[in-house]
Amino acid sequence: GMHSQLRYGVQLEVVLRDQFVDQPGPLPDQHPAQVVITLGEPTARGGAIPDLTSAALTLAKQAAARFGAATGYVAAGRDGFQPFLSPYEDRVRSDPFRRPRLDRVTRGAHWGTFLSGRHLQQVGGLEALRNLGLFHAVEPLAGPPGELVWAQLTPDPYRVDQALLDRMAGALAPVMP
């Protein structure tokens, strides 16, 4: 799909044909999906728009569950981005063309991250994820092809500092790019 520069608003990217996975997905071409949502900067006049953030989060969860996402993330407040790179991948200088399979490795540490069953196995399971005490929310989502979990660092996507993202990356090192 096309990438656009955004300042305010929401950008949604649902990649339905991702070849970087082992297991067939529920889509006609047998590929799982990847869901990416980027929330623009808070508006100049009043900060973040709670209804917009809530709607984007609901949409991300529904899309991830419906399309059987292998992984995905929701991030906020980025002016622009490199095509094909998540904010985390950009920061750690990950090569998008040498990316490991997305059912083994996530797109990095972000405000909200979708983890598949295979990711969970690598980090010790759902309870181990909850027991880290790092996430504001750890929510199992229903949908094909199996286990999918939403892990959210804070209530507000605009209030995530780099130290918290670094702690998440360290705690989930086996599934970081």
Specify which of 21-35, 75-89, 91-105, 124-138 reaches the highest per-range mean pLDDT: 124-138
Rounded average pLDDT over 167-174: 95
Q: What is the DSSP letter of 68?
A: T
pLDDT > 70 in the chain, percent: 63
Q: Which tens digits make up the pLDDT trace of 5-41?
A: 444 456 666 555 445 545 555 445 555 566 777 777 6
With 60 as the cut, is the pLDDT of residue 159 above it?
yes
Give the pLDDT score at 51: 75
Give the pLDDT score at 7: 46
- Chain CA centroid to CA 120, Å: 14
Give the pLDDT score at 23: 55
Pairwise pLDDT comparison (9 vs 104), residue with the higher score: 104
**Integer CA distances (angstroms), 106 to 7, 28, 44, 55, 102, in order:** 25, 23, 32, 23, 6
| Residue whose C-alpha is closest to residue 112's, from 64, 80, 46, 48 | 64
How far apart CA 66 and CA 60 sit, in angstroms, is 10
